[in-house]
Amino acid sequence: MSALQDNNATSALLGNDEVAPVHEDNAAAGSPFLLTCDHYGRAIPRMLGDLGVSESELARHIAWDIGIAGVAHALSKQLDAHLIAQRYSRLVIDCNRPPRVASSIPRISEATPIPGNENIDAEAAQARRQSIFDPYHRRIAEVIERRMRLKIPTVLVSLHSFTPVYAGVARPWHIGVLHHRDTRLPPLLLELLRAEPDLVVGDNEPYSVSDDTDYTIPIHGEKRRLINAAVEIRQDLIADQAGQRQWAERLSRIFAGIETSLRAQRLI
């Protein structure tokens, strides 16, 4: 293979007939909420085969955020909010990790080794970044910057789901609010979720946001000082369409209340 062909092969990880990494709903929507979904899909570029991982493992939470796509679609529709989502598996490249950290292209996830990620060289890692990570984050940046130019208020909400049991430990929370530097949205969201009598609400549980373990919130939300938070819903609650619809309805009602409150405070 010539050097030129080799370059083409590594910069074009995705064939022309393969699905684009970025999925969008409601791009012209009027809501201040901008929804992102880093772990929306579990596609794998054909060139990477199955990464050496069995189909049953690839259906688990290690490959994507189970159930969140259905919630994101319904919530985007109900709020009339723009949704930007990423269709490739987090096992190919994790779109919520800085590319410099080891878990960006994980060699192991929970207890499952990912053979296709072992011994990956810098060039192959760069090809994944260029083909999947960069277009997704470029699109989010473009959308936010356009909104800022046009003085359209933006509240960034990053949607995720978490496995009910991790490494043998059961998690009691139904939903978690994950945050770091923003002090406007997280307390409001926690207050309204805690007012729901049937919910166990995590405050920075089961994870918290940090510059090393996250990308979307620190880079798109915090660096631009946007009002922001991440939401994590437990996967067993949104495993089917009925659960996804219920959670989208609940969150849509709560976010409508938040919009009213942010407007009253003149924060948007």
Residues found near Zn ion in the complex (CB under 5 A): 39, 65, 160
Quick one: 39 or 82, whose CB is closer to Zn ion? Answer: 39
The residue among 182, 155, 162 whose CA lies nearest residue 256 is 155
Quick one: 95 or 193, whose CB is closer to Zn ion? Answer: 95
CB of 9 to Zn ion, least distance (A): 30
Quick one: 105 or 262, whose CB is closer to Zn ion? Answer: 105
CB of 30 to Zn ion, least distance (A): 27
For residues 53 and 118, give the distance between their C-alpha atoms in angstroms, rounded to a whole number: 12
For residues 27 and 38, give the distance between their C-alpha atoms in angstroms, rounded to a whole number: 17
3-state secondary structure of 116: helix
Distant-in-sequence, close-in-space partners of 153: CB < 8 Å, separation ≥ 6? 32, 147, 268
Angle at Cα 140 formed by Cα 151 and Cα 18, nearest 5°?
145
Quick one: 160 or 184, whose CB is closer to Zn ion? Answer: 160
The residue among 95, 88, 84, 96 whose CA lies nearest residue 18 is 88
Which residues in 188-209 are b (16+ Cβ under 10 Å) and which e? bbbebbeeeeeeebbbbbbeeb
CB of 226 to Zn ion, least distance (A): 19
Quick one: 7 or 210, whose CB is closer to Zn ion? Answer: 210
CB of 82 to Zn ion, least distance (A): 19
Quick one: 86 or 154, whose CB is closer to Zn ion? Answer: 86
CB of 150 to Zn ion, least distance (A): 29
| 60: its two tokens | 């688990």
CB of 56 to Zn ion, least distance (A): 20
Residue nearest to Zn ion (CB): 160
Quick one: 102 or 264, whose CB is closer to Zn ion? Answer: 102
The residue among 90, 100, 233 whose CA lies nearest residue 157 is 233
Bridge partner list, 161? 233
CB of 183 to Zn ion, least distance (A): 23
Measured over the CA atoms of residue 100, residue 146, residue 143 and residue 8, the dihedral's sign is negative
- Omega prior to 206 cis, within 30 of 0: yes
